[in-house]
């Protein structure tokens, strides 16, 4: 198997991981997907961190542009 090649059943594993996180966070009142990510879903955790960083970056750029334009 080549480096970086998906292992057999990877798509199913990722899909079940995401479903598990969504179910856990939606069934608990005040549940947080961040708290509920199982330890073996590290790829999903990294994806969530990347999405949060991207959101913050875009938010800062947006407010910077608003400040420069005097809006």
**How far from the centroid of its chain's Cα atoms is residue 53's Cα?**
10
Average pLDDT over residues 42-69: 87
For the whole model, what pTM was predicted? 0.42
Please tell me the distance from the alpha carbon of residue 2 to that of residue 64, in angstroms, as a whole number: 44
Question: Quick one: pLDDT at residue 2?
Answer: 45
Question: Quick one: pLDDT at residue 17?
Answer: 65
What tokens were used for 9?
Answer: 């059943």
Span 14-36, pLDDT tens digits:
566 666 555 555 555 565 555 55
């Amino acid at each position: 198997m080549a480096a970086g090649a998906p292992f057999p059943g990877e798509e199913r594993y990722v899909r079940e991981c995401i479903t598990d996180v969504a179910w856990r966070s939606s069934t608990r009142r005040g549940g947080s997907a961040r708290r509920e990510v199982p330890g073996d879903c590290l790829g999903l955790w990294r994806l969530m961190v990347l999405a949060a960083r991207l959101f913050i970056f875009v938010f800062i750029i947006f407010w910077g542009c608003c400040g420069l334009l005097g809006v």
